[in-house]
Structure formats: C-alpha cells, structure tokens
Amino acid sequence: MTAEPLVPGDLTLPEPRSTTARSVLSRAMGQLLRELCSAHRGAPQGASVEAAVLQRMVAAARVSAPGALVSALRRPTVSGLLRCLRQEALPRREAVFVELVAQLAFELAIAGVLPEPVRLRRVPSRLLSIPARLALVIAPGATTIVVENGSVAVERDGASARVDLAAPASARGVVVERPYHAISGDMVLALADNNPLALVEAHPDKSGNAVDLGGHDASEWATALAAALDPIARHLPELRAEMDLFVAQIVPVGWDPEKHLSASYQEIIGTLYLTLHPSRMTLSEALIHEFSHNKLNALFEIDAVLENAWTPLYTSPVRPDPRPLHGVLLAVHAFLPVARLYERMIAAGDPEAQSQPFRARFAAIRTINREGADLVLAEGKPTAVGRGLFDEIGRWRAHYSRFDETP
C-alpha cells in the first residue's frame, strides 16, 4: 500500500489533535529502519565481523520483537550513531560502527528481547540506556564483551566480570553510572552523550557541545528546565505534547548569565543541547527553538523541502555569519512558535507577560520572523512537500504582520 502524500500544513505550530509531527517522525523512523536493515552492507572495511553480527541481530529482532527494535532505534544513543555513519569521512567511523552494534544489543537486552547473545571482540568505552537511566563504563583493556538478555559480561586480563541488568552494580573493569536525571515524563537531563559530532560546531560563537554543568548541580538544571516547560504546557499544549514525542534527552553545555547558546543536530534527533540561563523565558525559548529544529530535521530525513537549500548564502536575521536558506528556514520555523508563546501569554494576562521588556522581546521576535520569512518565501524553491510548510509560514507571516500595522 502506498503511503498517503505528506502535506505538512501545521508542522510549525500544531492545530488541536494534529498528527502531522507524529506522521513525519513515523516516516523518518521507517526510513531509518530500512537503513538499519542494510547497514551491514556499508560497514567500514575493518568491521566485517561486527557487520555480520548486526545483520543477524536485526533480521532476528524484526521477526521476534519488531516493536522493541523500533523503540530502540528511536533513541538518539542508537539512531544518532546510525545517521552519523552516513558520512564516509566520519572520524573513528569503524569504532562508531562497533558502538552502534553494541548499543543496539544493549537496548534490546535491557528490554529482554535480544534474539541471541552478542559477542564482540572490540569493546566500546561505554554503553548507554536512556530508558534504564543507566551507563556502563568499561575500563580500557577489555578484550571481549558479551551482551545477552539480563546481563553484560566483560572479559579483561583473563577474567570475566558480569553486570546483572536487573540490579546493576559495578564489577571488575565495569563501572555502573546513573547519568540521567528526570526532567518531565520520560525527558531526561543527560550527563553522558555518545554523539560523534558533539564537538563539531557550526555556530561562530561556540566551540562544540561537550557535557558541562557550568558549575551548577544536576538537580538545579532539572528543576530549571522543568519550570521552563511549564509555560509551554499552559499556553502551547499541542506543541508541548509533541515535545514528549520527540525529545528524549537534554544535554547541558554550560552556564552563562547573559547570553544563551543552544544546538541540535540533524543526525541526533531526540537530543537538545542547552546552556543554563537564569531567565525562565530564555530557557522556554531555547526549548521551543531546538525542539522545532528536531521536527524540521525529521522532515529533512524524508524530503529535501528546498530545491535551493544550500546555495547561495544569505544574510541571516539571527546569525552573524552568512547562511544558506536551509539555515534561515530552520530559524523561521523555530521562532514562529516562540512568538506564539509570547502572544498567548500576553493574551492570557500572564503576570510574566506584563512587563515592557517582555513586550519588547515579543516585538524583536516578530521582526526576526518577518525578515526571515520574507527571505525564505521570496527566494526559496520548495519541493511539493516543502510547499505545505511554506504555505503555513506564509499564514503566520500574515498573522504577525497585523501586530506591526500602524493604527
């Protein structure tokens, strides 16, 4: 059966009972599952043994536990590795492939559905599981790892240590860590990150996204992020529900009392990188902004959206460096729901929305949106799928133009 054509008419700001974001994510994951099933064919030259292990594991899991396989693949600790492997020039590409095999086996073993034990003679430095809130840090020098339902065994210096996944405890050569801290629902603050591209940064004011609490403890971060999600839930409940669908983890990347820098990666859908900031509204903006990038990145997984996405370069309304329309579209798509949050808070008489700085920020965001939307709509050449997104942006551009009309 052929899938219904995708017309993303409310991917920027969901209408009540919208299924657009869910449909986009589902199609992106369906494509990634097909990619996983053939990943052994594109394995790095030196990873033929691990490629055979992956092929057997995925083929068996598709029959015995297809739902659990897709659930494991949705986690950025697994899917991110697979998407990064698309890059032939990826540093440590062979090690990333080995880590993908081990990570997938680990998640299936925690779920109790790994079809057969997986033995690897090349050992990753750690295994991560967001749903289990668990990390196994493996000491250097390990020669073999065996992952099976309920346990992980590590061989090192001629001895074997076994970790019981039902009651994990450190053993010789394996340290059990708990790097995940609850924020809201299943969304966690992650103090461990296996993104191979984490130190690759496109923003001129940053130098990567290494895990950094910025001198504040994890509980303070989790409390601040939960508080920043509250106004989104109250004033943009449909968008907040989509965040639960997409966002698995938030990685802390420092603290700054004045500026706020955040990031996301097309390869690592499900992860937001944020700096901590004393302003709750600044954090709310950042959460919406990076989540919106995740949604649009999922759409980019299944469609080009723009026929002229990468050339030429244009002056961006939000960045000091020239940007392709791909980047400007990401900015517009992210700032429109931020504007909607400000608009809704003002309309609801929210006490936080009554100050002059709040309304000045709302005006500044509208300016960013107007400039960015005008550029995208004038210069962009959308695909058939992208046309639905352009039409939505045009409607919101018209909506906010009324705020700026002179009486």
Domain residues of the chain, as ranges? 20-132+134-177, 182-404
pLDDT tens string, the chain, 407 residues long: the values are 345 668 789 999 999 999 999 999 999 999 999 999 999 999 999 999 999 999 999 999 999 999 999 999 999 999 999 999 999 999 999 999 999 999 999 999 999 999 999 999 999 999 999 999 999 999 999 999 999 999 999 999 889 999 999 999 999 999 999 999 999 999 999 999 999 999 775 555 556 899 999 999 999 999 999 999 999 999 999 999 999 999 999 999 999 888 888 999 999 999 999 999 999 999 999 999 999 999 999 999 999 999 999 999 998 777 778 889 999 999 999 999 999 999 999 999 999 999 999 999 999 999 999 999 999 999 999 999 999 999 999 999 999 999 876 44
What is the greatest pairwise CA distance in the chain?
81
* Separation between Cα atoms, residue 71 and residue 152, nearest integer Å: 20
Contact at 8 Å (CB) between 126 and 99?
no
Strand (E) positions, 242-384? 249-255, 262-263, 271-276, 313-314, 323-324
Helix (H) or strand (E) holding 129: strand 126-129
Residue 284: which of 226, 238, 228, 209 has the closest Cα?
Answer: 228
Name the pTM for this structure. Answer: 0.95
Buried b (16+ CB within 10 A) or exposed e, 346-358: beeeeeebeeeee
